[in-house]
Structure 1
Amino acid sequence: MKSLKYFLLMLVACFALSSCSEEDESVNYKPVPSPFSVQVNGTTTVGAAATTITATIAAGTNGWWVDVPTGSWCGFNSAVTSYAIYGSGDKIVTIYVAANKTGETRTQTVTFHPTFKLDPVAITITQGAQ
């Protein structure tokens, strides 16, 4: 009886071990980044009046964030007080540009950062003076 229990225990152990499988190392289990690009819809050179610029982000399944320096005259809401946005996938982003009352032409860089250590895309906005 004792040998039958031992045999059954060994049989169960062998069955349990045989059901475990090793990972197939030929399969890539890491996420693969999608291509990332930014296309400005129109021009990045604008007049002195307040305006908007749109840019199309093509990111597939990637996440991304877009930023301008804090306190800039460009932003991501109509009050030009939001200086960063985050998202994923494809999206059209609106960049709000405040009126230029300085009397001088000015420039600002907006940077689009993709995930997966892909290279960021920077666009420069140039705004004329009144």
Structure 2
Amino acid sequence: MTYLKYILLTLITCLALSSCSNEDESVNYKPEPSPFSVKVNENTTVGAAATQITATITAGTDGWWIDVPTGSWCGFNAAVTSYTIYGSGNKTITIYIAANKTGESRTQTVTFHPTFGLAPVTVTIIQGA
């Protein structure tokens, strides 16, 4: 009889443990992206002289990256040699624009890419001759 009680107790314990679960099927564990926006703080049509504009990124705690085509006349350092930057969260960044000595106006697109597959935001900069 003791042997039967031991088997029955073992079966009950196994059933009780197998019915416990750390996962709740009604809970969605996929992280939700923060809203993403970009606000340019100055006019994006600028004169021929070297200048800079700033953009404020709102991304909560999510990551992002910003790029302009390599060899462009605008970038993310004063020498205009940095064409991609990465970051996360809310931040104000500076876009440096080299002097236009071509004699013609020019246009450049700066693309702000949020993580989580959200749509990128583009900013078009027009520089006069």
The answer to whether TM tops 0.5 is yes
1:117 and 2:117 aligned:
yes
Query: In the TM superposition, what whole-angstrom CA distance separates every residue of 1:16-70 from its partner, at most 9, and x where no partner exists?
Result: 223x226323222111111111100011111111111100011112211110000
**Other-structure match for 1:106:** 106
Letter of the structure 2 residue corresponding to residue 59 of structure 1: A
**Other-structure match for 2:18:** 17
TM-score (norm 1): 0.89
Letter of the structure 1 residue corresponding to residue 50 of structure 2: A
Report the number of matched residues.
128
Write out aligned runs for 1:16-95 (5 A): 16-18=17-19, 20-21=20-21, 23-95=23-95
Rounded Cα–Cα distance in structure 1 between residues aligned with 2:89 and 2:28:
22
Letter of the structure 2 residue corresponding to residue 33 of structure 1: P
Q: 1:25 to 1:17 in 2, by over 3 A?
A: closer
Query: In the TM superposition, what whole-angstrom CA distance separates every residue of 1:59-111 from its partner, at most 9, and x where no partner exists?
Result: 11221111000000100111111101111111101101111111111110001
Mind listing any 5+ residue stretches in structure 2 that lack a counterpart? none
Rounded Cα–Cα distance in structure 2 between residues aligned with 1:60 and 1:39:
14
Moved over 3 A (4+): none
TM-score (norm 2): 0.89
Rounded Cα–Cα distance in structure 2 between residues aligned with 1:36 and 1:16:
44
- Cα RMSD of the aligned pairs, angstroms, is 1.6
Give the % identical residues. Answer: 71
Q: 1:23 to 1:122 in 2, by over 3 A?
A: same
Rounded Cα–Cα distance in structure 1 between residues aligned with 2:61 and 2:28:
17
Rounded Cα–Cα distance in structure 2 between residues aligned with 1:81 and 1:67:
12
